[in-house]
Amino acid sequence: MEKMSRVTTALGGSVLTGRTMHCHLDAPANAISVCRDAAQVVVAGRSIFKIYAIEEEQFVEKLNLRVGRKPSLNLSCADVVWHQMDENLLATAATNGVVVTWNLGRPSRNKQDQLFTEHKRTVNKVCFHPTEAHVLLSGSQDGFMKCFDLRRKDSVSTFSGQSESVRDVQFSIRDYFTFASTFENGNVQLWDIRRPDRCERMFTAHNGPVFCCDWHPEDRGWLATGGRDKMVKVWDMTTHRAKEMHCVQTIASVARVKWRPECRHHLATCSMMVDHNIYVWDVRRPFVPAAMFEEHRDVTTGIAWRHPHDPSFLLSGSKDSSLCQHLFRDASQPVERANPEGLCYGLFGDLAFAAKESLVAAESGRKPYTGDRRHPIFFKRKLDPAEPFAGLASSALSVFETEPGGGAMRWFVDTAERYALAGRPLAELCDHNAKVARELGRNQVAQTWTMLRTIYCSPGLLPTANLSHSMGKGGSCGLQLMNSFNLKDMAPGLGSETRLDRSKGDARSDTVLLDSSATLITNEDNEETEGSDVPADYLLGDVEGEDDELYLLDPEHTHPEEPECVLLQEAFPLRHEIVDTPPGPEHLQDKADSPHVSGSEADVASLAPVDSSFSLLSVSHALYDSRLPPDFFSVLVRDMLHFYAEQGDVQMAVSVLIVLGERVRKDIDEQTQEHWYTSYIDLLQRFRLWNVSNEVVKLSTSRAVSCLNQASTTLHVNCSHCKRPMSSRGWVCDRCHRCASMCAVCHHVVKGLFVWCQGCSHGGHLQHIMKWLEGSSHCPAGCGHLCEYS
Amino acid sequence: MAEGENEVRWDGLCSRDSTTRETALENIRQTILRKTEYLRSLKETPHRPSDRISNSESSDGLNKLLAHLLMLSKRCPFKDVREKSEFILKSIQELGIRIPRPLGQGPSRFIPEKEILQVGSEDAQMHALFADSFAALGRLDNITLVMVFHPQYLESFLKTQHYLLQMDGPLPLHYRHYIGIMAAARHQCSYLVNLHVNDFLHVGGDPKWLNGLENAPQKLQNLGELNKVLAHRPWLITKEHIEGLLKAEEHSWSLAELVHAVVLLTHYHSLASFTFGCGISPEIHCDGGHTFRPPSVSNYCICDITNGNHSVDEMQVNSAENVSVSDSFFEVEALMEKMRQLQECRDEEEASQEEMASRFEIEKRESMFVFSSDDEEFTPARDVSRHFEDTSYGYKDFSRHGMHVPTFRVQDYCWEDHGYSLVNRLYPDVGQLIDEKFHIAYNLTYNTMAMHKDVDTSMLRRAIWNYIHCMFGIRYDDYDYGEINQLLDRSFKVYIKTVVCTPEKVTKRMYDSFWRQFKHSEKVHVNLLLIEARMQAELLYALRAITRYMT
């Protein structure tokens, strides 16, 4: 390698030196393991099994353990482990399910020691006990874990994973009897080596197979697991339930995980597929790896820290047939390349902005943000002396908040309080709500209410005016006028048709300006055609900037002397075009080719009047077109409700739902309704609109919602004399046998509604107290308190 | 008469809302009535030459509609639609129009109709599945009706298929169906080809492409080679194949598209295996699924003849069955006895390493002699053959061909560890879906064998799975291939090999002659194992090549 840096570490007498280097193996490696003396490493794979000495400048092949003429599957290793107490002892797991132990002390060329053929399927992992010389553990695809005593010919005990394949087994470093095993279904189990009948603890750690686990060398009970779901999780096993402490999200499935010695929060990972690099993570900083080794050209299959007390040497074997020693100081640090600037909008319009501290500090007068209820995007990290590169990428955060309590949600509260939801005929409710909405400047909503009234209030209720009206409105001054129009004449809608024909747009030059007198003309005009069921007049209600005028679009129709028959003939073929052509002047063209969509335009103030008048027109047209019953619109109304709810205006959705009641309820599935109700109620409660929320609950037809009112309605009271809870009845205490709640006015027991002053706690029958306080402002009990009744 | 008014919209019928369905049906009824009126009026007026063409055209259109209605009356999961469609058909018949009737004996030619679940008698879980399937596709195909023997699997299967064909994915919809057609055509599976030709046109595919692969865009033509190799000799796929597809200038595939295509190809290759393996009949509304002739004319359908599988054949088999009832009874007993023996003596008798290695080779070699005796060349129906080129390219035994291809070792590249990660990375969520499907198929068991209960069939299932992988040259280090010989008898091996490698040659005789005492549902279960194992084998080879390309 080009980087020639050397590291020398003194570790209890022995000295580790070396550099970043690699050597070529003859075949892909599946696993590696380091000898206790940190000077040798064993590499195992399907067709390789060798020991290399780690020298200062290079790896030197020391021993080839693959002896014998015929290749045997027993030598095709899935895993290898070197005993940490005995330099001569190794164990391998073969792909055909055999566990082999090797004794380097044997004089012959063949170092194979023992053969355990108890597993039926591939053995995925072998593990020596950290302190016991003869105990070996294996985990296999067949769902069993076996514990071998090397002094005996067969296993001592078998642990069953309920036919789920075992991917990893690891003895705890701190607890003598404990080992952890991970499974293909995402579970992790803890076992006591003395109790093979059942596991001590089991929990689901990952989604999909857990490929690996590693106990923390120092922190008792910390277990890191890595899975196919691309996560590394750190669990605290000391508590009653395994607690997830950290979670690192990597970019590929995690094949191996190894804690870094001497660095409490660091661990190294490599992946199973796609990604060839080795990462070292600080688990507290799960998004950017602390260090990255990019030497390998194919997936890394084995990683091992060279010495249990040295954090700077990492060894790795790979499918690209190479063995590497990585030096921590040569690692690339993605943090350096990280962009510590960020910008984000909050839910409530706040703007958060993070930048390098140096940049922010240069700007005087602004203090770095110091935390509040929301999480900053980048943390200003506390400096940790144990961290070699703390603060490298720390950023300062500034948050710009919008003025709290600004008009933003004012309309919601007002609307909620002023809407009428029940108790009056539908038409009135709609009118009222439309009015409320209009006064709050929500023209689109207002228009919707008007439309609903148009749709659902049967024409029979009001005199059918077979008149066509066009409405124009520009500024707010026009609104009121328009309103009255709607209420009195427009609502029945039947028979009134407004022709919007863009093909006639060129005829604009001879349009006639309509003022109130012009409206009259149209009315007369219509009376002429009243007898036919094809009233045809071509009016467009529209707003042209500040003009606030109405245009008559059809040139023929503007001349009253035009014979009627012409109108009748022409009316029919023309009608089809209405549906397709976007109405009116050019600036509306891109809006809305259906009434629904037009209604869905955001109520931007300047466009709203135009918009809503249009949607009204379209609906009245549709009504006319086929004289359909209100049922015909239920789909439209349903879509409209969905639209409002989706836009976040669940208030509108629920209000309409309540007001229309049975008319639309059946079109919307129960769950959605319930969802809307609960969202709206939740919102209301957040704004402390308890009364409204209760009313909504009461009016709702969804069972799940209406029972909200019936839950936890009990009020527990204590006796006013003995201060004990009154259990059976609310007015007589069981203990002191005295009546607790006496009316201060009539001195009788109050059994129904009991009202009391929160200042002096005297009270009585609601009626009595009300009457009393009408005449006097003092407490009826004579305590002298000035009670208030509101 | 405007063309637009005659367009029939079926999609309203897929709604779960009964009123929507009713309106849709009413519209259909009116359209059909209008068409019949039109036809009748044409008949009454004297023909001009130009009229005759339009006449036959529109009667064609009407017949299509009627066939679709017939399908609905039989196969719609919603009762109201079934009844109403039948009613419409009846009323049309009263008008003197000839109406179609279904051909064949239910969804499968191998399985008697009475054994198969009738639409309308399903339980709630199955009904939900049917409704989902119907909502997604607008039909309830015969495959679904046969697979519903195993609802747990069917659910996963439909979910995966729906995701592959209709949900988010790098390929445009018509590409997906076209790839399905390409894949099914490799096995001359006219059933799947017909289905997907309809779907292809429905999603707006260019009808010209259907005239043959050479009319499709260059990009899809490039995929032809991969399709061919993947279907018949997946072990020959190399990273050069992948490179060729990914680096073809303006016609190149992206990795994500390629993975999507590969998944689709393998899915339809194996589905073709299922179609033949279970003898799926043509859909009622497709060609060959219905007839307008009155029932007395003939009692067997064309497709039976073309498969060399007419009633005479059946009779032979029936007589054979009668003779060997006692025989086949022992068959089950013997199989169970063998399983028991294997279970017991496994620990005692240990085969040497060489022995184990040679067993795999033996099984591999033997699998090549396992073949049905009637090796006559099969000529595909014309309309199917135009979808693929190089008809001569077929399965060749893994161990027979000249050059040496190294054995694929599962321990080095397996689905769970490697394939899954790759697919999920390039085509998110599909890895998960396929993984679930494999899992369900591999672990599916009811602990029964023919008339026996509480049997652990894992050994048998593993033997079948590994045998299929063995035919593709995939080896499990930890499996003793001697077990296969013990557990799978010759006729069974013949069936497996035919279904997996040359599905178009499956005959009813083969289906009937293995595992005679077993239930049809168990044979369908075997088929599920076969198709999933085959799909995994193909996927493994293709994905390994992609992985190699990427590194």
Which residue out of B239, B352, B358, B411 would a mutagenesis test of the A interface target, given it has the greatest number of A Cβ atoms within 10 Å? B411
B412, B418, B478 member nearest A97 (Cβ): B478
| A620 pLDDT above the threshold of 60 | no
Closest CA to A284 of A310, A264, A255: A264
CATH number, domain with residue A165? 2.130.10.10
- Residue B82 falls inside a structural domain: no
Question: Do A702 and A755 fall into the same domain?
Answer: no
Residue A308 CA to residue A84 CA, distance in Å, equals 10
B344 shares contact with chain A (CB less than 8 Å): no
Question: Do A122 and A261 fall into the same domain?
Answer: yes
Closest CA to A467 of A516, A523, A542, A531: A523
Residue A588 CA to residue A339 CA, distance in Å, equals 45
pLDDT band at A254 (very low <50, low <70, confident <90, very high): very high
Looking at residue B517, its pLDDT comes to: 80
Give chain B positions within 8 Å (CB) of A209: 416-417
Question: Do A738 and A688 fall into the same domain?
Answer: no
B422 shares contact with chain A (CB less than 8 Å): yes
Distance from CA of A444 to the nearest CA of B (A): 30
pLDDT in tens, A629-645: 666 777 888 888 888 88
Structure tokens at B404: 């040496």
- Residue B111 falls inside a structural domain: yes
pLDDT in tens, B164-176: 988 888 898 889 9
3-state secondary structure A733-776: CCCCCCECCECCCCCCECCCCEEECCCCCCEEEHHHHHHHHHHC
Residue type (1 letter), A430? C
Half-sphere CA count of B29, side-chain side, radius 13 A: 17
Instruction: Check CB contact under 8 Å for A274 and B425.
Output: yes
State the count of interchain CB pairs (< 8 A) between A and B. 70
Question: Do A301 and A438 fall into the same domain?
Answer: no
Helix (H, G, I), strand (E, B) or coil at A699: helix
- Residue A504 falls inside a structural domain: no
Full strand arrangement of the beta sheet holding A77-82 = A77-82, A89-94, A99-103, A112-116
Confirm whether pTM is higher than 0.90.
no
A74 shares contact with chain B (CB less than 8 Å): yes
Give chain B positions within 8 Å (CB) of A321: none
pLDDT in tens, A125-167: 999 999 888 899 999 998 999 999 988 888 899 999 888 899 9
Q: How many domains does chain A have?
A: 4
Question: Do A785 and A726 fall into the same domain?
Answer: yes
A73, A208, A209 member nearest B477 (Cβ): A73
Structure tokens at B231: 């279907």
- Residue A593 falls inside a structural domain: no
Instruction: Check CB contact under 8 Å for B477 and A117.
Output: no
| A284 pLDDT above the threshold of 60 | yes
Low-confidence ranges of chain B (pLDDT < 70): 1-9, 11, 42-60, 103-105, 120, 286-329, 345-354, 356-357, 365-404
B64 shares contact with chain A (CB less than 8 Å): no
How far apart, in Å, are the Cα atoms of A671 and each of A113, A636, A665, A702, B172? Answer: 67, 19, 11, 9, 33
Q: Which residue has the higher pLDDT, A586 or A776?
A: A776
Distance from CA of A319 to the nearest CA of B (A): 10
A211 shares contact with chain B (CB less than 8 Å): yes
Structure tokens at A665: 């309820």
Q: Which of A320, A336, A352 is the last residue of a domain?
A: A336
User: Which residues partner with A234 through β-bridges?
Assistant: A224, A246
Distance from CA of B17 to the nearest CA of A (A): 10
Question: Do A54 and A165 fall into the same domain?
Answer: yes
Looking at residue A148, its pLDDT comes to: 92
Using an 8 Å Cβ cutoff, are A168 and A212 in contact? yes
Distance from CA of B424 to the nearest CA of A (A): 10
Question: Do A147 and A269 fall into the same domain?
Answer: yes
User: Which residues partner with A433 through β-bridges?
Assistant: none
Residue B545 CA to residue B551 CA, distance in Å, equals 10
Distance from CA of A212 to the nearest CA of B (A): 12
- Residue A373 falls inside a structural domain: no
Using an 8 Å Cβ cutoff, are A448 and A652 in contact? yes
Range of the structural domain that residue B252 is part of: 102-289+346-550
- For A650, residues 6+ apart whose C-beta sits below 8 A from its C-beta are A644, A676, A679, A680, A683
Which residue out of B348, B439, B445, B478 would a mutagenesis test of the A interface target, given it has the greatest number of A Cβ atoms within 10 Å? B478
Give chain B positions within 8 Å (CB) of A120: 346, 478
Question: Do A402 and A267 fall into the same domain?
Answer: no
Instruction: Check CB contact under 8 Å for B416 and A253.
Output: no
User: What is the CA A542 to chain-centroid distance, rounded?
Assistant: 44
Q: Which helix or strand (DSSP H or E) is residue B314 part of? A: helix B311-323
How far apart, in Å, are the Cα atoms of A585 and each of A503, A591, B78? Answer: 11, 11, 48
Closest CA to A470 of A568, A371, A361, A613: A613
- Residue A122 falls inside a structural domain: yes
Range of the structural domain that residue A772 is part of: 717-789
Q: Can you tell me the ipTM of this complex?
A: 0.76
Looking at residue A569, its pLDDT comes to: 40
Instruction: Check CB contact under 8 Å for A273 and B421.
Output: yes
Active site (catalytic) residues of B? 189
pLDDT band at A402 (very low <50, low <70, confident <90, very high): low
Question: Do A163 and A59 fall into the same domain?
Answer: yes
Q: Which residue has the higher pLDDT, A688 or B399?
A: A688
- Residue B42 falls inside a structural domain: no
Interface of A with B in 103-162 (CB under 8 A): 117, 119-122, 141
Question: Do A687 and A668 fall into the same domain?
Answer: yes
- Residue A534 falls inside a structural domain: no
3-state secondary structure A158-179: EEECCCCCEEEEEECCCCCCEE
Specify the DSSP class assigned to residue A459: G
- Residue B339 falls inside a structural domain: no
Q: How far apart are the first and last CA of chain A?
A: 85
Q: How many domains does chain B have?
A: 1
Looking at residue A544, its pLDDT comes to: 40
Question: Do A101 and A241 fall into the same domain?
Answer: yes
- Residue A258 falls inside a structural domain: yes
A72 shares contact with chain B (CB less than 8 Å): yes
Give chain A positions within 8 Å (CB) of B357: 73
B60 shares contact with chain A (CB less than 8 Å): no
Q: How far apart are the first and last CA of chain B?
A: 62
Give chain A positions within 8 Å (CB) of B439: none
- Residue A154 falls inside a structural domain: yes
Looking at residue B400, its pLDDT comes to: 53
- Residue B18 falls inside a structural domain: no
Of A5-14, A100-109, A636-645, B84-93, the range with the lowest mean pLDDT is A5-14
Q: Are strands B474-475 and B408-409 parallel, antiparallel or unpaired?
A: parallel
- Residue B471 falls inside a structural domain: yes
Closest CA to A80 of A135, A117, A36, A33: A33
Q: Which residue has the higher pLDDT, A773 or B349?
A: A773
Which residue out of B15, B415, B417, B433 would a mutagenesis test of the A interface target, given it has the greatest number of A Cβ atoms within 10 Å? B417
- Residue A119 falls inside a structural domain: yes
- Residue B362 falls inside a structural domain: yes
Instruction: Check CB contact under 8 Å for A78 and B411.
Output: yes
B305 shares contact with chain A (CB less than 8 Å): no
pLDDT in tens, A498-556: 343 443 434 343 433 434 343 333 344 444 434 444 443 444 434 343 443 434 344 44
Residues of chain A by 3-state class (helix, strand, coil), percent to 5 = 30, 25, 45
Looking at residue A279, its pLDDT comes to: 92
Helix (H, G, I), strand (E, B) or coil at B495: helix
- Residue B298 falls inside a structural domain: no
Question: Do A309 and A349 fall into the same domain?
Answer: no
**Could you give phi then psi for residue B421, rounded to 5 degrees?**
-60, -40
A97 shares contact with chain B (CB less than 8 Å): yes
